[in-house]
Amino acid sequence: MKIAMFAEGSYPYVAGGVSGWVQMLTEELKEKEFVIYTLVPTREDGGKFKYQIPSNVREIRESYLNGNGYVERKKKVILKNKERESLWSLLLGEHIDWGGVFDFFDQTEYSVNDLLMSKDFMELARRLYIEKYPNCVFTDFLWSIRSLYLPLFRVLMIPVEEADCFHAISTGYAGIIACKAKYRYHKPLILTEHGIYTREREEEIIKADWTQGIYKNLWINYFYMLSQCIYNEADYVISLFQTARQIQTEIGCPREKTRVISNGVFAKEMENLPTRKEDGRINIGAVIRIVPIKDVKTMINAYRLAKEEVPSLRLYLMGPTDENEKYYKECLDLVNGFRIPDVIFTGRINVKDYMGKMDMIMLTSISEGQPLCLLEAMAAEKPCIATDVGGCKELLYGGEQDYFGRSGLIIPTMNVDKAAEAMVLLARNRKMRMQMGKSGKARVCEFYRNEEVVRKYRNLYNSLA
């Protein structure tokens, strides 16, 4: 059975939860053949794999969302009436003729730049401007529309081979190319959302300073439009936890399509891990990429306060530092500026080499899906502190039909004082740490085993073959 996967900005370039999930699933489903279509911002971002590609992954096909800007037109664009109306429905974002859009981009001889710089496209943009955005400056609006649709038009021109099943790992651009593949070959389509892509993009756009005013709404609506396409076209839409499933239905996914398949770990692999000699220290570990969305600065500041209360604390920041070197430097400057002792940046690690040496695991992320690092910590009987994002509360406090008790503490996002209080509470209470560790191990063994994840996806693929 041949499965085509579609990923955006994750596997195999970024070491993290989504990429680790793809690696695990492809390794375990050895009888399946995979082709992975992966989208990265530019050509310079491609080719830098962080994973050993499994032998049953026949090919990694890279495509790029952005180029080097616009070039001089080389072919005059003359749209047929059907093509014009399909593109108009796309720009308008209402009752979109996705079939017409897919057909146009599969058959067109025009380049993306030809199309965006054409008179026909400008007339469509002007029509949209008059109908919906007449209070903007037209030249600004036109360039915003071109910037908005440049990556989408590039994605729509990506050729896709036939497969027995198509599987998108997010909505957005990966979801659109997966929908085009389903339309072209009439084969089943699965969507697995590790986070809620549209909500994440919305949060980024609201905070962004590169776009203002009405253009923020334009971008937000655009990403909701992309997600709605795959919500409508997918045969199954999978989330990792019940809250995410509820959000999917709230933003337009038909509930009858939705399923929950949680992340998991191989629990036995987290047993009998290397430990450290008793030295009177309390080790706090964070298995994270050093990037803004993990809010490492809040963790460092909280640790600074907690260490004043419990001098025996030591903080291990365990994960790659090269994804956002500017942010990594800011974190180093924060540590050095306050002269905070016992903060160790390890770089990328093998989790099993370090987890057994930790007394607790911490996560201060602004956004998460269902963090693998918490599952690994729970499997290793380590108590956790995590922000109330994504599926963290369900992991640490339990969901329905879960009576194992708390396996950690949930804190608000971006709250230094509450994070510090949680560190101090666990550091001073060994009995609490032990009990939470046991609860976490029991919960993982009952609800979050990779063996079950693999079984469910194998059955799902086979049912669609």
pLDDT by residue, tens only, the chain of 465 residues: 999 999 999 999 988 889 999 999 999 999 999 999 999 988 888 888 999 999 999 999 999 998 644 444 567 899 999 999 999 999 999 999 999 999 999 999 899 999 999 999 999 999 999 999 999 999 999 999 999 999 999 999 999 999 999 999 999 999 999 999 999 999 999 999 999 999 999 989 998 888 888 999 999 999 999 999 999 999 999 999 999 999 999 999 999 999 999 999 999 999 999 999 999 999 999 999 999 999 999 999 999 999 999 999 999 999 999 999 999 999 999 999 999 999 999 999 999 999 999 999 999 999 999 999 999 999 999 999 999 999 999 999 998 888 899 999 999 999 999 999 999 999 999 999 999 999 999 999 999 999 999 999 999 999 998
Does residue 76 form part of some domain?
Answer: no
- Domain identity same for 310 and 371: yes
- Domain identity same for 199 and 288: no
- Domain identity same for 144 and 157: no
Buried b (16+ CB within 10 A) or exposed e, 198-216: bbbbbeebeeeeebeeebe
- Domain identity same for 313 and 371: yes
Count Cβ atoms within 10 A of the Cβ of residue 240 and give its class: 0-12 exposed, 13-18 middle, 19 or more buried: buried
CA atoms within 13 A on the CB side of 163: 31
pLDDT tens-digit readout, 396-451:
999 888 889 999 999 999 999 999 999 999 999 999 999 999 999 999 999 999 99
pLDDT at 67: 64
Q: Give the separation between CA 125 and CA 120, rounded to whole angstroms.
A: 9
Q: What angle do CA 251, 253, 258 make, to 5 degrees?
A: 125
- CA dihedral over 226, 232, 235, 238, signed as positive or negative: positive
- Domain identity same for 251 and 141: no
Among 334, 336, 280, 333, residue whose Cα is nearest residue 311? 280
- Domain identity same for 132 and 217: no
Residue ending a domain, among 148, 183, 203, is 148
Q: What angle do CA 465, 246, 203 make, to 5 degrees?
A: 105
pLDDT at 69: 45
- Domain identity same for 188 and 133: no
CA atoms within 13 A on the CB side of 379: 26
pLDDT at 267: 96
Q: How many structural domains does the chain have?
A: 3
Residue ending a domain, among 148, 169, 185, is 148
Does residue 459 form part of some domain?
Answer: no
Does residue 177 form part of some domain?
Answer: yes
For residue 159, the domain's CATH number is 3.40.50.2000
End-to-end CA distance of the chain: 7
Containing structural domain, residue 407:
267-448
- Domain identity same for 304 and 273: yes
Does residue 302 form part of some domain?
Answer: yes
Does residue 379 form part of some domain?
Answer: yes
Does residue 417 form part of some domain?
Answer: yes
- Domain identity same for 47 and 181: yes
- Domain identity same for 297 and 328: yes
- Domain identity same for 142 and 157: no
Residue ending a domain, among 125, 148, 171, is 148
- Domain identity same for 181 and 51: yes
Q: Give the separation between CA 13 and CA 199, rounded to whole angstroms.
A: 23
Does residue 373 form part of some domain?
Answer: yes
Does residue 456 form part of some domain?
Answer: no
